[in-house]
């Protein structure tokens, strides 16, 4: 019923109803506050208009009234605050098993890569009823991925990943807007979100797919020679990457961080910044040598090998390797540099 109400966009995600419910609550509450002020102002203005011979009655103020009209609005504000925060937590917490889609923004288009394989520009196909997590980055300025029908928006930043998620509830075609001003064709950086029934979606996904993103990642991983150091046993000069994703890792400076998408991305582009404990700073930066899409593919690949071979086999995981491999890693550092230098031409070709 509410879908036909003209004052808001279609409700096509599980979040839309939550946001609209709060919106309606706010309209009612603020409407009552506005009405209250309005009624009093109009009533007083009419009732106490100037009449010759009738003087104003001087009133100093009333602390009791001040406390009342501070406390009641404050309590109402706190309800709004808490409700808004709950909706926001929902919006900001992607379910763990969500389907992943990588988004690269650039002036002035959206490039979309499905982890399952399809690529699109200015369009995003998703099935009804499945959680979809967008892992987004920008090649240039700040953009913002905004789907009004889903009530979600997230700025897309250069140099890091930001994440948003949704679960579409209704097949249809919905607006995709860039909501952060990004230059000349900002208003042309629009597209469509195509929500399909699962069967249709499967058919679309299988038509002309280039294979899963992690497969391209595996290819790039090999072409760049990553595997020479990041071996699948404990003998590599770099950490074994199997099972590393999503787990806490200890850094050289003692900090412990979670190896999430942003961490992997940073390690590829700026390996020195958050180096694992026990490994030498021998990995060269890949900043400028790989495109954003290639970084996405590499991240997708590392995630894939983390989920297919989980971290329970302690000796194969990077976090376990921290304690065991340092000596070995140290010994081989000189040799590694030479090998990496030899590998450089390959990298440039890949790009």
Partner 1 sequence: MEIAIPQSPIAERETYLNAKYGVWSWLLTTDHKRIALLYLISITFFFFIGGFFALLIRLELLTPAGDLVQADTYNKLFSMHGIVMVFFFLVPSIPATLGNFLVPLMIGAKDLAFPRINLLSWYLYIIGGVMMLYCIFTGGVDTGWTFYAPFSTNFSNTKVVEAGLAVFVAGFSSILTGLNFVVTIHRMRAPGMTWSRLPLFIWAHYATSIIQLLGTPVLAITLTLVVAERALHLGIFDPKLGGDPVLFQHLFWFYSHPAVYIMILPAMAVESEIIACFSRKRIFGYTFVALSSIAIAVFGFLVWAHHMFVAGISVYSALVFSFLSYAVALPSAIKVFNWTATLYKGSIHYDAPMLYAFGFLGLFTIGGLTGLFLAALGIDVHVTDTYFVVAHFHYIMVGGAVMGYLGGMHFWWPKISGRLYPEGWARLAALIVFIGFNLTFFPQFLLGYMGMPRRYYDYSHMPEFQVLNVLSTAGATVLGVGYLLPMVYFLWSMRYGKPASDNPWNAAGLEWKTASPPPTFNFDEEPVVTWEAYNYEELDAPPHAQEVPVAR
**Contact between 287 and partner 1 per CB under 8 A:** yes
Rounded CA gap, 172 and 126, in Å?
10
* Residue 135 CB, nearest approach to partner 1 (Å): 13
User: By CB under 8 A, what part of segment 4-33 binds partner 1?
Assistant: 7-9, 18-19, 22-23, 26, 30, 33
Q: Which of 137, 108, 136, 135 is CA-nearest to residue 121?
A: 108
Residue with smaller CB distance to partner 1, 69 or 211:
69
SS3 for 231-260 is: CCCCCCCCCCCCCCCCCEEEECCCCEEECC
Are 142 and 156 in contact by the 8 Å Cβ rule? The answer is yes
Residues 209-268 binding partner 1 (CB under 8 A) are none
Interface with partner 1, residue 178, by CB under 8 A: yes
- Residue 271's SS3 state is coil
CA distances from 238 to 183, 218, 235, 257, 285 (A): 41, 17, 9, 18, 14
Question: How many Cα atoms sit within 13 Å of 236 on the Cβ side?
Answer: 22
Q: If binding means CB under 8 A, how many residues of this protein chain bind partner 1?
A: 85
Minimum distance from CB of 306 to partner 1 (Å)? 24
What torsion do the CA atoms of 177, 182, 185, 190 make, to the nearest 10 degrees? Answer: -10
Which tokens hold the place of 90?
Answer: 């929902």
Note whether 122 binds partner 1 by CB under 8 A: no
Looking only at Cα atoms, what is the longest distance across the chain? 102
Q: How far is the CB of 99 from partner 1 (least distance, A)?
A: 21
Does residue 49 belong to the site contacting partner 1 (CB under 8 A)? yes
Among residues 28, 78, 222, 256, which is the contact residue for partner 1, using CB under 8 A?
A: 78
Binding of residue 180 to partner 1 (CB under 8 A): yes
Taking CB under 8 A as the criterion, the residue among 100, 102, 118, 154 binding partner 1 is 154
Q: Work out the end-to-end distance of the chain between its first and last CA atoms, rounded to an integer number of angstroms.
A: 51
Member of 3, 17, 28, 90 binding partner 1 (CB under 8 A): 90
Closest alpha carbon to 195 in 165, 170, 178: 170
Task: Choose, by CB under 8 A, the member of 177, 234, 284, 332 that binds partner 1.
Answer: 177
Residue closer to partner 1 by CB (options 57, 97) is: 57
Site string for partner 1, 156-175 (x = CB under 8 A): -xxxx-x------------x
**Least distance in angstroms from the C-beta of 314 to partner 1:** 32
State in angstroms the smallest separation of the CB of 108 from partner 1: 10
């Amino acid at each position: 019923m509410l879908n036909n109400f003209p004052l808001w966009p279609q409700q096509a995600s599980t979040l839309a109803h939550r946001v609209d419910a709060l919106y309606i609550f706010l309209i009612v509450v603020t409407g009552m506050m506005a009405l209250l002020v309005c009624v009093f102002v109009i009533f007083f203005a009419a009732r106490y208009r100037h009449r010759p011979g009738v003087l104003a009655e001087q009133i100093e103020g009333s602390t009791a009234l001040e406390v009342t009209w501070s406390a009641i609005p404050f309590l109402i504000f706190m309800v709004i605050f808490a409700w808004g925060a709950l909706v926001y937590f929902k919006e900001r917490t992607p379910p763990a098993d969500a389907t992943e889609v990588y988004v690269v923004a650039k002036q002035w288009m959206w490039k979309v890569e499905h982890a399952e394989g399809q690529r699109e520009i200015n369009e995003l196909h998703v099935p009804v009823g499945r959680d979809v997590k967008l892992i987004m980055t920008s090649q240039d300025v700040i953009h913002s991925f905004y789907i009004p029908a889903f009530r979600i928006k997230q700025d897309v930043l250069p140099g890091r990943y930001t994440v948003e998620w949704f679960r579409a509830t209704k097949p249809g075609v919905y607006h995709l807007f860039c909501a952060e001003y990004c230059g000349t064709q900002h208003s042309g950086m629009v597209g469509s979100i195509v929500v399909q029934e699962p069967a249709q979606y499967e058919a679309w996904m299988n038509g002309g797919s280039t294979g899963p993103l992690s497969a391209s990642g595996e290819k790039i991983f090999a072409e760049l020679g990553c595997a020479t150091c990041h071996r699948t046993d404990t003998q590599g000069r770099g950490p074994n990457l199997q099972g590393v994703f999503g787990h806490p890792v200890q850094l050289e400076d003692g900090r412990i961080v979670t190896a999430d998408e942003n961490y992997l991305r940073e390690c590829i582009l700026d390996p020195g910044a958050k180096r694992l404990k026990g490994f030498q700073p021998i990995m060269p930066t890949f900043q400028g040598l790989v495109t954003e899409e290639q970084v996405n593919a590499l991240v997708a690949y590392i995630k894939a090998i983390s989920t297919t071979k989980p971290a329970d086999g302690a000796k194969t995981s990077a976090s376990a390797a921290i304690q065991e491999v340092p000596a070995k890693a140290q010994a081989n550092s000189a040799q590694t540099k030479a090998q990496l230098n030899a590998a450089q031409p390959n990298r440039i070709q890949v790009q």
